[in-house]
Amino acid sequence: MKELSKLIGYRESVKVFDATLRDGGLVNDFRFTDEFVKALYLANVKAGVDYMEFGYKGDKDLFDEAKFGPGKFCDDEYIRSIVGDNNTDLKIAVMADVGRCNYKRDFAPKAESPVDMVRVATYISTIPTAVDMIETLHNLGYETSCNIMAVSTAQEGDLRTALDIICQSPVDVVYVVDSYGSMLPEELARLIEFYKESANKYGKSLGIHAHNNKQLAFANTLEAVGDGVDYLDATYSGMGRGAGNCAMEQLLSLLRNPKYNMFPVLQFIEKYMNKLREEGVVWGYDVQYLLTGILNQHPRTAIAFTKEGRSDYAEFYKEIVIQD
């Protein structure tokens, strides 16, 4: 039952979550200048955005610091150099991937950190570790979310079991993640229905993270908010891996809560996002991403196709359809 028709009013519980530095960081190895990050922070504050994700909490034993910008690791000192004491309504988030972070070593107690929320990204196969991370981070005082990736290729029964386990943890938000940008709004609606079964049972909020392979990231976010999902991921200019995400400017154009403000977003885009594109950073919808989306595949082949400057779509489609 969609509530979207009511959105000429608005739902207090809806939160806008800016994932530009994190999902966008996958495009440029997190090499954003401090000027960019500070301006983005200020734009988010002015725009009334609820959460801003600074990047990943990557394990420095696994990743070479020289090969990435600071958003790959999100040291508290780095975040503090941007936000100071963050005396604003904007909450700060970081993402931690199961198996690619050292969550027992790298998180200070919340009272000593500028971070408010940690988003735990997991596959269905690593749910027990995700739950251990959520418990650890919750006990340190952080808000937590659990982002289950690649669910469009999961068995429904496995996903139901995973949701039931996760929703019994102290997690605050469970995200529906369309990793491959493969879902149609109707399919997403079905998925949300059974996320809601577990979430409602244990009093959890739901979130949506959409990819734009089929140019449906905004439409799917719309579908989700109409179906009762509250945490809405977006990125400026839709910047994100491959086809990118739901664009912040699209999302704010929809939401009627008077606290949201479109102008700072437009000003940031014209000054900073267009410059990134001019510098040769490439993301966004293109035919090759549509094709991996259709086939419900990870976009890595389409990303390689893009990097190689190819445009032989028909040949590419043959390559990815026929995989022995």
In the complex, which residues of this chain contact a second copy (CB under 8 A)? Answer: 2, 4-5, 184-186, 190, 212, 214-219, 222-223, 226, 237, 247, 249-250, 253-254, 262-263, 266-267, 269-270, 274, 285, 287, 290, 294, 311-314, 317
Pick the closer one to a second copy by CB: 154 or 219.
Answer: 219
Q: What is the 3-state secondary structure (H, E, C) of 250-262?
A: HHHHHCCCCCCCC
* The two structure tokens encoding residue 93: 């988030």
b (16+ CB within 10 A) / e for 211-239: bbbbebbbbbbbbbbbbbbbbbbbbbbbb
In the chain, which ranges are continuous DSSP H helix?
20-28, 34-47, 76-83, 127-140, 156-167, 185-202, 217-226, 248-254, 263-268, 274-278, 287-294, 300-307, 313-321
CB of 254 to a second copy, least distance (A): 7
Pick the closer one to a second copy by CB: 126 or 182.
Answer: 182
CB of 223 to a second copy, least distance (A): 8
- Residue 7 Cα to chain centre, angstroms: 23
Pick the closer one to a second copy by CB: 69 or 181.
Answer: 181
CB of 243 to a second copy, least distance (A): 11
Burial class (CB in 10 A: 0-12, 13-18, 19+), 30: buried
Are 118 and 107 contacting, i.e. CB atoms less than 8 angstroms apart? yes
* The two structure tokens encoding residue 47: 């725009």
Pick the closer one to a second copy by CB: 70 or 293.
Answer: 293
CB of 310 to a second copy, least distance (A): 9
Residues β-bridged to residue 53: 93
CB of 264 to a second copy, least distance (A): 8
Pick the closer one to a second copy by CB: 165 or 281.
Answer: 281
CB of 291 to a second copy, least distance (A): 8
Pick the closer one to a second copy by CB: 6 or 259.
Answer: 6
